[in-house]
Amino acid sequence: MLVVMKAQATPEQIQAVCDHIEQLGLRAHPLPGAQRTAIGITGNKGEVDRGNIEALSGVAEVIRVSKPYKLASRDVKEEDTIIHFPGTDAAIGGRNLAIVAGPCSIESRQQAFDIAEQVAASGAQFFRGGAYKPRTSPYAFQGLGLEALRIMADIRTRFGLRIVTEAIDNESLELVAEWADVVQIGARNMQNFSLLKRAGRLRKPVLIKRGLSATLDEFLMAAEYVMSEGNYQVILCERGVRTFADHTRNTLDLSIIPAVRRLSHLPILVDPSHATGKRDSVLPMARAAVASGADGVLVEVHNHPELALSDGPQSIYPDQFARMMDELEQIAPVVGRNVPRGIAVEASK
Ligand code: PEP
Ligand code: MN
């Protein structure tokens, strides 16, 4: 159910409606929009008696949301969600594209700083790097853990880049939430419902990668899990799905971009690195991602991919990343977008 408040509803009236919903044992999710505030209701098993709510002052109407995902749906919030990063001009969603770049794994302080310096010089605003790695083999490099989080925090201080890194379980979620700017939930955890709920209790942006065989509805339901706990700062990321095609690591499903944008107000990025697994395919697919309306791209960049401890074959060189930025800058205006170059960070007091 969705309570649509009148455009002139006061904050007190909005609060009174939320209180009424909570008193019914349900959960109220106030979602401010450009014109008016909507209040999503979750936790109801059947129909909520709308008469009593409709009678409250400031309420315009109460409507049923037929989609299985409610808070993630455009029916509930018409305008695109834009996630801002306090103290900076960076955002995910909106006119400016978000460019997230960095190695698959943080391997050493030197490696991470060298790559960060180069992607920052090309104008990236976000740095990615794995501290906790979900690897297919238990014998493969598992990540440097807390040490990697500390290195990335120092990268943020040095270059201003905002940090995106993955949490793989409850333990790493706590640490990642403490040190990073965006908590990534990996493809293999897209239906780890207890992890999603915990991420929903954070007040940090959460980036959810599409599961290896997830449908559009399942993908949006993963976002709904996070939002149902009160965290509305959710970013989706298409990273390819498993198909019979074996010329690439996965099959990049770009047609999900317009579908997500139609059904949901949440921003969606594209990761052409994991989608293709091939360095030479990353740039063409990044171009296509922007052309198809994605809100940005997430790419793996390594200065010595031949020595990388994970995902070397799909990591582009820093000079290829520089070229990617130049090309995306040309494509972006055609679809009404812009590639910001560099991040402005307010001097801390
Ligand atoms: C990653 O971003 O390094 C990663 C492991 O991605 P995914 O969960 O999409 O495989
Ligand atoms: Mn990787």
Given pLDDT bands bounded at 50, 70 and 90, which one contains residue 45? confident
Which residue's CA is the nearest one to ligand 1's atom 8? 186
What's the gap in Å between 328 CA and the centre of ligand 1?
22
Q: Is the pLDDT of residue 152 over 90?
A: yes
Given pLDDT bands bounded at 50, 70 and 90, which one contains residue 50? confident
Classify strands 83-84 and 91-92 as parallel, antiparallel or unpaired. Answer: antiparallel
Q: DSSP string spanning 136-190?
A: SSTTS----THHHHHHHHHHHHHH-PEEEEEE-SHHHHHHHHHH-SEEEE-GGGT
Q: Is the pLDDT of residue 280 over 60?
A: yes
Percent of the chain surpassing pLDDT 70: 100
Classify strands 162-167 and 126-128 as parallel, antiparallel or unpaired. Answer: parallel
Cβ–Cβ under 8 Å, residues 116 and 74:
no
Q: Residue range 45-52: average pLDDT? A: 84
Given pLDDT bands bounded at 50, 70 and 90, which one contains residue 47? confident
Q: Using DSSP, state whether 237 is helix, strand or coil.
A: strand
Q: Is the pLDDT of residue 229 over 80?
A: yes
Give the integer Cα–Cα distance in Å for 29 and 26: 10
Q: Residue range 68-75: average pLDDT? A: 95
Q: Is the pLDDT of residue 341 over 60?
A: yes
Given pLDDT bands bounded at 50, 70 and 90, which one contains residue 294? very high
Closest CA to 124 of 330, 273, 347, 318: 318
Which residue's CA is the nearest one to ligand 1's atom 3? 104
pLDDT at 349: 57
**Could you identify the atom of ligand 1 that is nearest to the CA of residue 210?**
9
Contacts of 225 (CB under 8 A, 6+ apart): 193, 196, 197, 200
Q: Residue range 113-120: average pLDDT? A: 98
Cβ–Cβ under 8 Å, residues 18 and 39:
yes
Count Cβ neighbours within 10 Å for each residue of 20-30 and write b for 16 or more, e otherwise. bbeeeeebbbb
What's the gap in Å between 310 CA and the centre of ligand 2?
6
What's the gap in Å between 309 CA and the centre of ligand 2?
10
Tell whether pTM > 0.85.
yes
Find the range with the poorest average confidence among 33-42, 238-247, 334-343. Answer: 33-42
What's the gap in Å between 102 CA and the centre of ligand 2?
10
Ligand 1 neighbours, Cβ below 6 Å, are 104, 130, 134, 186-188, 209, 239, 274
